[in-house]
Amino acid sequence: MWREQFGNKFGAKSTEYKNQTYHSKSEAGYARDYDLMLQSGELSKVERQIKIPLGVNGHHICNYYVDFRLTYHDGRIELIEVKGFETEVFRLKRLLLEATYLAENPDITYRVIRTGGWRAMGGRRRR
């Protein structure tokens, strides 16, 4: 039996780097960069696809999977999200992350790296 594979609806192509599959070429490129930073001693730890449970008033709402969690030698932690296109679901989860998890952990920094996005077709804005 065979299964037809369809591409990502946003045009991202899965890319493999060091036997790990990443959601896009950009994400794999950042993984390579963070590996180099780890080898040079700039970072002490690099983790990928970290699950962060998000909840309000003790009720679990959803899980947020951040692309990378970087740990520096001085103990700083940075969450990195590599995004080509921001969906409404991502925006909602980002706001929930900022209002709950990051508010409870002010020492953790969070950064969204935008690598692409929406373009107007033919120079005109589409509705």
Q: How confident is the prediction along the chain (127 residues), in pLDDT tens digits per residue?
A: 434 444 544 555 676 766 676 667 878 888 888 899 999 999 999 999 999 999 999 999 999 999 999 999 999 999 999 887 788 999 999 999 999 999 999 999 999 988 865 544 444 444 4
Q: How many domains does the chain fold into?
A: 1
- According to the model, what pLDDT value does residue 118 have? 52
- According to the model, what pLDDT value does residue 20 have? 72
- According to the model, what pLDDT value does residue 22 have? 62
In a domain, 127, yes or no: no
In a domain, 54, yes or no: yes
- According to the model, what pLDDT value does residue 116 have? 67
In a domain, 1, yes or no: no
**CATH classification of the domain holding 19:** 3.40.1350
| CA atoms of 93 and 61, how far apart (whole Å) | 10
In a domain, 45, yes or no: yes
- According to the model, what pLDDT value does residue 5 have? 45
4-30 in b/e form (b: 16+ CB < 10 A) is eeeeeeeebeebeeeeeebbbebbbeb
Q: Write out the residue range of the structural domain in which residue 49 sits.
A: 15-114
- According to the model, what pLDDT value does residue 43 have? 93
Q: Contact, 57 vs 75, CB < 8 A?
A: no
Residue for token pair 């700039």 = 42
- Tell me the pTM: 0.75
Tokens of residue 56, six digits: 């309000």
In a domain, 101, yes or no: yes
